Amino acid sequence: MSAPNAEERRVCWRARDELWRCLDENEDKGTHCEKLRKQFESSCPAQWVKYFNKRRDFLKYKERIQTEGFEPVDQSTKL
């Protein structure tokens, strides 16, 4: 597989951004964004789709930790 050229990358990133915007607006309810998800998956290499999905999950987790804080697990009950 050859690397995507500049135009293919732009198309992929645009599809990713549109999907993420839709997911943000619909609180990650994928049913509203299914058409955009299919467009994203067809516009980007499979490895990129996998990476971008993991990246979104990480960014959402990081945002939640920053806003809600982190509570460590109680270490007093060791096995």
Query: What is the mean pLDDT of the segment spanning 71-76?
Result: 70
CA 46 to chain CA centroid, Å, is 14
Query: At residue 79, does pLDDT exceed 60?
Result: no
Instruction: Specify the residue for token string 């920053």.
Output: 66
What whole-number distance in Å separates Cα of residue 16 and Cα of residue 63?
19
Instruction: Specify the residue for token string 């609180």.
Output: 27
Task: List pLDDT tens digits, range 36-64.
Answer: 999 999 999 999 999 999 999 999 999 99
Q: Which residues, in sequence order, are CB contacts of 44 under 8 Å at separation 6+?
A: 12, 15, 16, 52
Task: List pLDDT tens digits, range 13-39.
Answer: 999 999 999 999 998 776 889 999 999
What is the three-class DSSP state of 79? coil
Query: At residue 1, does pLDDT exceed 70?
Result: no
pTM for the model stands at: 0.79
